[in-house]
Amino acid sequence: GAGVSQSPRYKVTKRGQDVALRCDPISGHVSLYWYRQALGQGPEFLTYFNYEAQQDKSGLPNDRFSAERPEGSISTLTIQRTEQRDSAMYRCASSPTGQRTEAFFGQGTRLTVV
């Protein structure tokens, strides 16, 4: 596609449910990032892939959060047993060759846990 695509755009889920957020990066981009952004704050790093390899997952808050990019393209961020504090905007970005170049961001998925 022309840009980074995230789906769904909005997700409302009940506490305790699992959710899966999808990111479709720009075709050919090597690196893919997941960030979480609270209102009025900057994006907070969650995890990062080069191709299919998860290079850094140090930003994942706890073991309820996981991510994969099995074929080096589309990525899924999964949150198990959601809690209200997980409510935030989740943003995905991709870049051609890592953090030495600009990152292109998707529009994000607004997750609300009720």
Partner 1 sequence: SQQGEEDPQALSIQEGENATMNCSYKTSINNLQWYRQNSGRGLVHLILIRSNEREKHSGRLRVTLDTSKKSSSLLITASRAADTASYFCATGASKDTGRRALTFGSGTRLQVQP
C-alpha to C-alpha distance for 51 and 32, rounded to whole angstroms: 8
Determine the interface stretch with partner 1 among 9-17, 22-30, 72-80, 93-101 (rule: CB under 8 A): 93-101
100 lines the binding site for partner 1 (CB under 8 A): yes
93 lines the binding site for partner 1 (CB under 8 A): yes
In the complex, minimum distance from the CB of residue 16 to partner 1, in angstroms, rounded to a whole number: 27
Tokens of 28: 């050919």
Q: Which of 28, 31, 14, 25 is nearest to 79 (CA)?
A: 14
101 lines the binding site for partner 1 (CB under 8 A): yes
Residue number with CB closer to partner 1 (41 or 112): 41
Tokens of 92: 């995905």
- Helix, strand or coil, per DSSP, at residue 31: strand
User: Which member of 58, 62, 70, 85 binds partner 1 (CB under 8 A)?
Assistant: 58
Tokens of 55: 């290079």
96 lines the binding site for partner 1 (CB under 8 A): no
Q: Report CA-CA distances (Å) from 31 to 41, 54, 65, 83, 90.
A: 23, 10, 19, 29, 17
Residues lying near partner 1 in the complex (CB under 8 A) are found at 33, 35, 39-45, 48, 55-56, 58-59, 89, 91, 93, 98-108
